[in-house]
Amino acid sequence: MKKNRTELPAAQQILLDFREYLERRQMAENTIRAYMRGVEQFFSLYGTISHDNMKLYKCYLLEHYKPQTVNLRIRAMNCLIESLRLDGSRMTMIHVQQKSFLDNVISQADYEYLKRCLLRDGDRLYYFLVRIMATTGMRISELVTLQVCHVRRGYIDLYSKGNKARRVYIPLMVRQECLTWLKQLERTSGPVFLGRDGLPLSPSAVRKRLKRFTDLYGLDPDVLYPHSFRHLFAKNFIEVCGDISMLSDILGHENIETTRIYLHRSPSEQKQLVNQIVNW
């Protein structure tokens, strides 16, 4: 792209066209929202696309956001550039040093304790929500779309980043218990997880409720969040099965290297193991 201002339609029209472009590519709604947010931010700051403005925007991102967010906004702008067919205008991503371990993951003991507390208090809704997350590895955004028919047939077909399809199975024991609960509620169709208003739970509502459980049951707030149960599933799966390729498929990872983090122990696990085995 030349450094002088590029002649383009009004920013508002570009935004409308860009959303249509993302929808035609069948991107996930969460991805569309994230990309639109980044592009809207760019135009609110600079107004027009130019070589200099793109460089300024990258500097702005580096000063205000974490590396993962910076790269997300860069991907959004690169996708916009692609939609506008502006060759040679892509921004380079920044290198993100990936952690070689997972921390702040709920322990098996705390997970079992949480389940007992929820059953004791008669909170079957969050009992099954937590249990299905921990036994399938579904993201919270995927779990809230779960329908009664999915539980009945024992699996749900999901679409990950890049429109990659994957099938996630609900373990038989969990499925049978959940069906018994749904039968008691006389629910034969529709979403599994409904709020008091009768509408499907939102991911933000689930996050808020889990945070309330930290005070109610005395659990660590750093480990009680939706993705923690996905991590727990992955750690347990790899320890029992050991098939990292299969785990990558179940989790919907684009790159198996992302899945390899579950082969590593957390600092607390390393400390405990050292204390157990070192006696010389």
CATH for 130: 1.10.443.10
Residue 3 lies in a domain: no
Residue 214 lies in a domain: yes
Q: Residue 105 in contact with residue 223, Cβ under 8 Å? A: yes
Q: What is the pLDDT of residues 144-171, one digit of tens each?
A: 999 999 999 999 998 766 567 888 999 9
Return the amino acid letter for 88: G
Task: Tell whether the model's pLDDT for residue 5 goes beyond 50.
Answer: no
Residue-level pLDDT at 47: 85
Residue 276 lies in a domain: no
Which residues are within 8 A (CB) of 201 and not within 5 positions of it... i.e. 6 or more apart?
129, 144, 193, 194, 195
pLDDT above 70 covers what percent of the chain? 83
- The residue-averaged pLDDT of 207-229 equals 91
> 46 with 139, same domain?
no
Residue 224 lies in a domain: yes
> 142 with 38, same domain?
no
Domain that holds residue 51: 11-84
- The residue-averaged pLDDT of 203-222 equals 91
Supply the CATH number for residue 59's domain: 1.10.150.130
Q: What is the pLDDT of residues 46-63, one digit of tens each?
A: 888 888 888 899 888 988
| Domains in the chain, number | 2
CA distances, 154 to each of 77, 132, 169 (Å)? 40, 12, 6
> 203 with 148, same domain?
yes
- The residue-averaged pLDDT of 32-43 equals 92
Residue 129 lies in a domain: yes
Note if the pTM is more than 0.85.
no
